[in-house]
Each structure stands twice: as structure tokens, then as C-alpha cells.
Amino acid sequence: MSDQSIPGAFYTRWAGVYDRIASDLPGVARMRSAFLDLLSPSRGDVVVEMGCGTGANFPWLRDRVGPEGTVVGVDLSEGVLERARARVRRNRWENVHVVRGDATRPPFVGGPTAVPSGSLGLGAGEVDVVLATFVVGMLPDPGGAVQAWGQLAGDGGRLGLCNLARSTTPLGRVCNPAFAALVRASSPPGGKGRTRGAAQLLDERVLEGHRALHDVCDGVVSRRAFEGFVRMSAGTVRTER
């Protein structure tokens, strides 16, 4: 089984539980809002969210881009996408769309690794903002994915990542073993994290993803929250260097 297919089935099975954690856990709303302050999408923007899950970011994204903007969520897992679609229907958001696809090969026409199926017809230059929250830590090649997202956002576009990883603050270090146990318990079965330390793999992937964001963006602003366990970075893509 590929690294991509494992999280697909895993998140489909746990979609209901995940939705409650991702949307209702105390402090999570504040964190999502703080991340979007950093990313600062504007009214009318076209925003693509990679690995959108159940659409927990959609209310904030829809609020920032307004009715004249567009939000597109991409995810591999049909189970979480069903919940994302239900959220869109419930809120009657006509400008929020959900596409099933591999975020590492963005399913848009004209993109560098475009695939035609499920395409919304968006290409490089037509997307203003690309974001991924709690996703790069699951990808086998986070750096490659972030570079592809930078190309999709195009020169002057905004790119942002928000992730969980082990903390480096004094208090955070005390809590790291409990965090690592949680990461291990919530890792998709059969993934590399089961044989290597799941938290170590998460740390490495998150670091690689955020480094890649620094490579493709100018003016990167980073923030840590929740005693250093949450890492957020956002910047403006520069294709010419």
C-alpha cells in the first residue's frame, strides 16, 4: 500500500471523530483564525486548501474571501470529503467547492503536475492563495509538495502551512512524551511512523515542509502557538530568484 492510500482509508474511517476534534476542540478555532491572520487572504481571492479534511477551515476562509471569492478544498479521503460537502450544503456556500485528489499532484488544469480528472479548470496564475493545515507531516515528500503548491499559487501568490510537531520550549519538552504517544496512537496503521518514531517522522516532515516554504517564498512570517506545538508559516511566492 502506498503512503497516499493509507491515510485515505484511515481518515474515511475516523471522519466523524476527526471532524469533532478539528472543529470543536477548545482553542482550535482561535488557532485556525490566528493562522489565517498570518496568511491574510483577501476579499475576492481564489483559495485552494490542500488536504482540507472535513472543511474545518472553510468558515474562516469563506469569511475572508467573501461571496465574491472562491474556496476549493482538495483531499484524498472520500469519508472526510462527504463531511466537507455536507458543511458546504448546510451553509449554502455557492463559492466553496470540494475536489477529490492527491494534494501532491494538484488536480488543476495547467498546473505543473496537472491531472485532468476532477479538475475545476484552475491553473497556475488563477490561484491567489494555497494553504495546508496539519497535512505536510503526512506526506512522504513534503518539500516536493510545497514546491508544487508554490507553483500553483504563482508569483505573488500567498502560501501558508500550519502544523503540529514536538515543542522546543522548556514546558513543551516536558509534554513531548505525551504528545509523541498521541501522534503514535493517531498515526495511520502501516505507515512509516509505525516502524520509526512517529513523532520523529512528523518533526522531520514538518521541518522539511516549512523549509521548502522559506525556499519558495519571500517575506515569510512564522509563529508558534500552544506552547510551541503548533507551527505556522506564511509568505509570498517568488518564482524568479
Give residues in contact with ligand SAM (CB under 6 A): 4, 7-8, 11, 22, 51-53, 56-57, 74-77, 80, 102-104, 133-135, 138-139
DSSP 114: -
Q: How many CB atoms lie within 10 A of CB 175?
A: 16
Nearer Cβ to ligand SAM (157/160): 160
Task: Work out how close the CB of 145 gets to ligand SAM at its nearest, in angstroms, rounded to a whole number.
Answer: 8
CB of 94 to ligand SAM, least distance (A): 22
Give least dist CB 161 to ligand SAM, A.
Answer: 11
Min CB(32)–ligand SAM separation in Å: 7
Q: Least distance in Å: CB of 172 to ligand SAM? A: 20
Task: Work out how close the CB of 170 gets to ligand SAM at its nearest, in angstroms, rounded to a whole number.
Answer: 27
Least separation in angstroms between CB 157 and ligand SAM: 19
How far apart, in whole angstroms, are the C-alpha atoms of residue 158 and residue 130?
6
- Of 52 and 96, nearer to ligand SAM (C-beta) is 52
Q: Which is nearer to ligand SAM, 7 or 193 (CB)?
A: 7
**Closest to 127 (Cα-Cα) out of 241, 38, 237:** 237
Q: What is the DSSP string of 13-78?
A: HTHHHHHHHHHHSTTHHHHHHHHHHHH---TT-EEEEET-TTTTTHHHHHHHH-TTSEEEEEES-H
Nearer to ligand SAM, 174 or 181 (CB): 181
- The residue number whose beta carbon is nearest to ligand SAM equals 53
CA–CA distances in Å: residue 194 to residues 74, 93, 197, 202: 26, 39, 7, 11
Q: Which three cell numbers stand for residue 91?
A: 451553509
Q: Which is nearer to ligand SAM, 7 or 143 (CB)?
A: 7
DSSP reduced 3-state for 86 = helix
Greatest alpha-carbon span in the chain:
48
Residues 6-32, buried b or exposed e (16+ Cβ, 10 A)?
bbbbbbbebbeebbeebbeeeeeeebb
**Closer CB to ligand SAM, 57 or 167, in the complex:** 57
C-alpha cell recorded at residue 147? 514546491
Query: Which of 32/46 has CB closer to ligand SAM?
Result: 32
Contact criterion met (CB below 8 Å) for 65 and 45: yes
